[in-house]
Amino acid sequence: MNTETIQLSRLIDDGYCLFENVLTQPMLSRLRDVVAGLRESDTLVASKVHEMRSAMAHPLFADLISWSPVFDRLSSMGFENPTFTDGYIICKPPQSAPLFWHYDWFCWQDSRAHDVMPQQVFLMYYLTDTSVANGCLRVIPGSHQRHNVLHEHIGNPHSQKLSRAEDVDQLAFSIRPDEVDVPVRAGDVVVGDSRMLHAAHANKSSEWRTVITLWFQPDYASLPDRVKAQMVQKTQEIPADWPVAAATRVKALHPTYAGNAKPYGRDLYRKNSATN
């Protein structure tokens, strides 16, 4: 088996895989400079857990969204024409709370919500090396497919209460017996199924820890119409003042849908069924 086939099996079985050394050092430096500028300009929306902003905040993110080495990796996994909908810059301040367990899939009502192939994946690029000490990613392998006890307790996985980390004693913030840490080196990319339960450790270090999360649909053409409509609806608008070249590159990756199917909306709850 070649590396990409192994990574595809991991994505399908565990819900995530890791590609090392995908970004160059100059690209990492540019991303760090832009993120530092955004933080200084005070335009990120802060919570106890992190500060967050859309990746449309700066045209440099067009370079990351269309980063060709990643498309080569996706293509070798059989994903020839992925689409891109939205992205976020997530900065964890020094001494900040853990990020709660959640998934990022919104179409659980769909009859194909439990398909083997992911309908949507995140690409997470960390701008620093990560470890348990500075808030690395944590995942529950297999939770994109199999029922997990957390599904019965987390309710709306994106509620304001969770974002504000008001009650860190609740299960959504707990250390789970089946969780796995995903420490990375800056420049790696984690590819994960949006249905998988994931979280992040507290940042106990004295440095900021930033991740840029980009949402792709690896095989958009094969998606059910209502899911397509949903993806088009959540696609972030490209700012009018972006340079034409940057805007064109991102626009070329946007999904399109000309049918009449109704988007699912943000129906965040996964069915609490022990059978899947």
Ligand X SMILES: O=C(O)CCC(=O)C(=O)O
In the list 184, 202, 211, 246, the residue contacting ligand X (rule: CB under 6 A) is 211
Site string for ligand X, 28-67 (x = CB under 6 A): ----------------------------------------
Q: Are the beta carbons of 266 and 107 closer than 8 angstroms?
A: no
For the record, the structure tokens of 24 come out as 């160059």
Among 140, 172, 200, 202, binds ligand X (CB under 6 A): 200
Sign of the Cα pseudo-torsion (248, 190, 19, 255, in order): negative
104 binds ligand X (CB under 6 A): yes
CA 268 – CA 156 distance, rounded (Å): 6
């119409």: which residue's tokens? 225
Nearer to ligand X among residue 90 and residue 231 (C-beta): 90
Helices (H), 68-147: 68-76
Give CA–CA dist 204/207, Å, rounded.
9
Residue 90 sits in the site that holds ligand X (CB under 6 A) = yes
Q: In this complex, which beta carbon is closest to ligand X, that of residue 83 or of residue 130?
A: 130
What's the closest the beta carbon of residue 137 comes to ligand X, in angstroms? 5
97 touches ligand X by CB under 6 A: no
CB-CB contact of 102 with 193 (8 Å): no
If one asks whether residue 202 binds ligand X (CB under 6 A), the answer comes out as no
What helix, strand, coil percent values describe the chain, rounded to 5? 30, 20, 50
Between 191 and 211, name the residue whose CB sits nearer to ligand X: 211
Binding status of residue 89 toward ligand X by CB under 6 A: no
User: Where in 133-192 is the site for ligand X (CB under 6 A)?
Assistant: 137
Distance CA 188, CA 123 (A): 10
Nearer to ligand X, 182 or 257 (CB): 182
Binding site for ligand X (CB under 6 A): 88, 90, 99, 104, 137, 198, 200, 211, 213
